[in-house]
Amino acid sequence: MLKAQNNPFRTSRQRDLLPYDPTLHGDSWQQIFQRWKSLGQHVSISAPHGAGKTTFLDAFETYLNAKGFPTLRITLHTHSPKISRQTFQHIKANLHATIILDGEEQLNPFQKIKFRRISKSAVGSILTNHHTHPHPSLLTLTPSLPLLEHCVSTLAPEHFSTLKPYLPHWFQQHQQNIRHVLLECYDFLSSTD
């Protein structure tokens, strides 16, 4: 039985071992950066749940900072779906930065309008959403079975041959949500001896 402290799929391990790799999607950081610049630095990233939007943002934010582009990151979730008044003030005070909003779909219509109005004056903005967006698309992340297999084999190479036969079914069962399939992998391993 696999104990929780030995979970090869824990979030911290995913961050350490699975940073976003543009080559897995036929891209490069330089190409993504040039596309961001050519689109006016105000873009969106569309992808379903668990496809890697936050993982991409973590890596691209680091890339932008290394290129001398400061960023301001705001992350929304179902349990915190609003931008506070203080955060809006912070955005207004940091229009010299690229504003990154992870989880824009959480906002109500009024907050979406307010955010878009304020952020269009910023140096740039990057918004993530689960659907298409009015901002030009920087990229669309599409989960795939080969990508899932790469994730599992990287995180748990010693268990990959055991898990691989189940991955296609779990991938469909969880509607291609890679994050949920990784949880399923842990549940499976923790329930077997």
The token pair at 174 is 């969880």
pTM for this model (two decimals): 0.84
Alpha carbons 19 and 154: distance in angstroms, whole number: 11
CB-based contact 159:136 (threshold 8 Å): no
List pLDDT tens digits, range 56-108: 999 999 999 999 999 999 999 878 789 999 999 999 999 999 999 998 888 99
pLDDT 10s digits, 120-145: 999 999 999 877 667 899 988 888 99
| 23-140 to CATH, choices 1.10.20.60, 3.40.50.300, 3.30.470.10, 3.90.1300.10 | 3.40.50.300
Amino acid found at 177: N
What does the alpha-carbon distance between residue 140 and residue 62 come to, in Å, rounded to a whole number?
A: 19
What is the rounded CA–CA span in Å between residue 97 and residue 71? 5
Is residue 126 a contact partner of residue 98, using CB atoms and an 8 Å limit?
Answer: yes
